[in-house]
Structure 1
Amino acid sequence: MSEINTLAAFYAFSGGALWLLGSLLFIGFDKTNTQANRWLGAFYCILACAFTQLFLEGFGIGGGFFIHLLELPRWAMLPCLYMAVNHYVSPSSLKKDWLLHFVPFLLFLIFSLVYLMPDLFNGQNHLPVLPPWIRFIVRYFFFGQTVYYWIVCFFLLRRHQKNLKMVASFTEKIDLEWLRYLLISVLFLIFVRILSISNIHVTYYSPILYFLGIILLAYLTLSQKSIYATETYPAAEKSEITPKKALNERLTPEQVEELKHIVMRKTVGDKLYLDPSLTLSALSDKIGISTHELSYILNNGVGKNFYQFINELRTEEAKSLLLSEDTRHLDMLGVAIRAGFNSKTTFYTTFKKATNLTPKEYIKANSAAG
């Protein structure tokens, strides 16, 4: 029994860590991601309620009324995570329908206030007997809600990372990669919960597994990068669902070909790609066409998104620099910067993808050929 209680104590560690983490997010330890962090803080605080409940039940502490109070906000947990991810991927947009995501929680709250809590408040330690269909909803709705919102959050982040390459040539500081790992950590907690229902060994060690998952959540949250200001591209999503006919009516094939030559001449001839901070809107201003037209020309005329187009031109520049006698004194970071890259990571990744060689391998291969 003492060993079981020792393991159950990890629920207290998990709950305490989550309460602390949620409080830090609410008071605003990071002033740039305030709204998103507050929603994430709400998610952590509700999750802390769940672990506090598990701890109290494990040690037989607290009455039915208090335990139910801790369980009450659970249906709002995953909507809070969804709102947090939504604000991380689009911090400037107004979420007009946010209240709709909390309708199930509000209904459960009303149901509890009317049917459940009066009996608990009057001294009963157990919930009243409910009809089978209500018990089914209460038991399984949260699981379905969890799976649904995790999938939605994952695709929100994927769409954000995809759309970034439509407008930016440098994405390391705005791709929210840390958030992807945070969602994976949440998925780990979900799997532990699922496996603990069916596997006695996982059930036994689940308090420790939960604690390890929460430590990872805390690390990722506290080491998050700020949301850097970046332009939005409202048509990035819309263009994916706009019929080709409508797009063709705006720009004919002849116009696309003509504008493609202008884009290539300006971008390559004036070496606009050497600007490490170049974005879609900046390039469209320098060329003299709209961002929507430029994006359409790149996607349909050149066959590349903005990120691919600019970084492949930078790769060609880097090839020349790597073999030039005038730049032999530069290290790889120096070559990357001279070629227009803002990051050695982007330089290496793009160069390897384009040539199947690292920059050093490219130098060696061309030296041997010479």
Structure 2
Amino acid sequence: MFNLTVSENILRMVLGLGVLQGMLLAALIYFYPKGDRSVNKFLAGFILGVSAVMALPMIIHFVGWQNSFFVQSFPLIPGPFLYLYIRSFKETITWRKAWPHFIICIIWLIPIYFNLLKFSKLYPDSEMIPIQALRSPTTIFLIMGRPVLQVVYYWLARRELISYQRSLRHLFSETSRLDLNWAKFLVNGFLVLVGVFFISFPLLFVFPNNISLILLTNMSVGAPYIYIATYLGIKQYTIWQAQPGVNKETAEATIQKVVDIETNGTNGKKPKPVKTAQSDDRMDVLVKKIIALMEEEKLYQEAELTLQQVANKLQVPAYQVSQALNEGMMKSFYDVVNNYRVEDAKRLLLDEKSRNHTILSIGFEAGFNSKTTFNTVFKKFTGLTPTEFREKQNVLTTAS
């Protein structure tokens, strides 16, 4: 029993430090001078939400389970914040859009209050929540309903992330500054946290005397997660921050129109606009102008070329350029530009004059901004890395 108490005290101390750090990290995110507060406020809210969930065992320990109804909806807070954070990557989230997602947190308190009131009258002197209360169908529904709702928000956040990731390919030729691996970690890590609770909840029935220790252990998993989420979130750029000279409103309008164009052209859920001969002619003219920019002016050699820059060159709205590429060339902006870069790199790799040039210098000349990006994109289009491509061609040349 002594060892168990020591373990609980250590976990409470670790958890307390984690909660405190979570609050400080949320403040750091919100007030970070280089960040966009309209986006970061949702990440800060998410970190605070996870911290609040981590604090649950300690709060319940101090106030008693009979009086803990006011904190029982804490586990419902992180999911909406995560979803709104991912969604805010491409649009401004107003209070009107946000508040409906938090109504459930208030509604959930009503049945929790009456359920706790019922069992607190039956077991007024019990220090730990009785196993009879845990086994109540109402209690099981109220406890397990929370992670189920969080899984729903995980799915919504994941869907928004996939949509955002797909839209980037219509706006940028190089997306390393908007790398979304960290966002995938954020979303998938949240699912892991929810999954840990699903796994640990049955243990409460198997080891009813160790409820406190099980909950403390469960919540401690969140501490390293919020550290990593904060570190990676601070370094994330928004779409408008990645495009010099483009304000937030213009970027939001462009991405929304690009998403609409892609939706109309791929899943068939929205009716396509009726085309006329005149609109087809304009589309053909625009496609030819884009090809001319790439082949004659070699615009693809600009390392961080964006859709907006091409639109500025052509003096047309960015969404029209995207539409011309999608419908006229059946490709995204990313694929069009990088196809030209890969073809140019292949030409340079086979050119006798470039035989003594390094792979990296050839990549830079073709418009790539790093060796990693060059290798990744080149292999995607050819099935080989630049080095493998050059070696294969040398072997073929020698053999012939």
State the TM-score, normalizing by the size of structure 2: 0.77
Q: Aligned partners of 2:214, 2:75: CA distance in 1, in Å?
A: 23
Q: 1:35-46 to 2 correspondence within 5 Å?
A: 35-46=38-49
- Deviations 1:82-112, CA, capped at 9 Å, x for gaps: 233233x136554531111111123345777
The correspondence for 1:273, drawn from 294, 300, 308, is 300
Matched position secondary structure for 1:184: helix
Q: Which runs of 5+ in 2 are unaligned?
A: 244-250, 265-269
Would the alpha carbon gap of residues 159 and 247 (structure 1) be closer, same or farther in structure 2, given more than 3 Å must change?
A: farther
Would the alpha carbon gap of residues 40 and 292 (structure 1) be closer, same or farther in structure 2, given more than 3 Å must change?
A: closer
Contact 2:45 2:81 in 1 (8 A): yes
Farther-moved stretch of structure 1 (66-75 vs 276-285): 66-75
Percent identity of the aligned residues?
Answer: 22
Q: Aligned partners of 1:17, 1:298: CA distance in 2, in Å?
A: 49
1:298 aligned partner = 325
1:283 CA displacement: 0.8
1:11 CA displacement: 5.6
Q: Aligned partners of 1:252, 1:330: CA distance in 2, in Å?
A: 46
2:260 is matched by which residue type in structure 1?
Answer: K
1:350 aligned partner = 377
Contact 2:54 2:220 in 1 (8 A): no
Would the alpha carbon gap of residues 50 and 96 (structure 1) be closer, same or farther in structure 2, given more than 3 Å must change?
A: closer
1:164 CA displacement: 0.7
1:75 aligned partner = 76
Would the alpha carbon gap of residues 15 and 333 (structure 1) be closer, same or farther in structure 2, given more than 3 Å must change?
A: farther
Farther-moved stretch of structure 1 (244-253 vs 159-168): 244-253
- Deviations 1:97-146, CA, capped at 9 Å, x for gaps: 111111112334577789978x98xx95689x9xx896576334312321
For the pair 1:239 / 2:261, whether they are aligned, the reply is yes
1:165 CA displacement: 0.6
Contact 2:42 2:84 in 1 (8 A): yes
Q: Aligned partners of 1:29, 1:299: CA distance in 2, in Å?
A: 39
1:50 aligned partner = 53
1:253 CA displacement: 4.2
Contact 1:63 1:125 in 2 (8 A): no
State the TM-score, normalizing by the size of structure 1: 0.82
Matched position secondary structure for 1:90: coil
Would the alpha carbon gap of residues 146 and 159 (structure 1) be closer, same or farther in structure 2, given more than 3 Å must change?
A: same
Q: Aligned partners of 2:304, 2:66: CA distance in 1, in Å?
A: 57
1:295 CA displacement: 1.2
2:17 aligned partner = 16
2:181 aligned partner = 177
Q: Aligned partners of 1:162, 1:279: CA distance in 2, in Å?
A: 15
1:306 CA displacement: 0.3
The correspondence for 2:170, drawn from 166, 175, 181, is 166
Would the alpha carbon gap of residues 244 and 48 (structure 1) be closer, same or farther in structure 2, given more than 3 Å must change?
A: closer
Would the alpha carbon gap of residues 3 and 328 (structure 1) be closer, same or farther in structure 2, given more than 3 Å must change?
A: farther
1:84 aligned partner = 85
- Deviations 1:310-343, CA, capped at 9 Å, x for gaps: 0110111111222334444543332222111123
Q: Aligned partners of 2:16, 2:278: CA distance in 1, in Å?
A: 58
Matched position secondary structure for 2:237: coil
Q: Aligned partners of 1:343, 1:179: CA distance in 2, in Å?
A: 22
Q: Aligned partners of 1:97, 1:260: CA distance in 2, in Å?
A: 38
Q: Quote the RMSD (CA, aligned, Å).
A: 3.7
Q: Aligned partners of 1:250, 1:178: CA distance in 2, in Å?
A: 46
> What is the aligned residue count?
364
Q: Which runs of 5+ in 1 are unaligned?
A: none
Contact 2:172 2:333 in 1 (8 A): yes
2:104 aligned partner = 104
1:30 aligned partner = 32
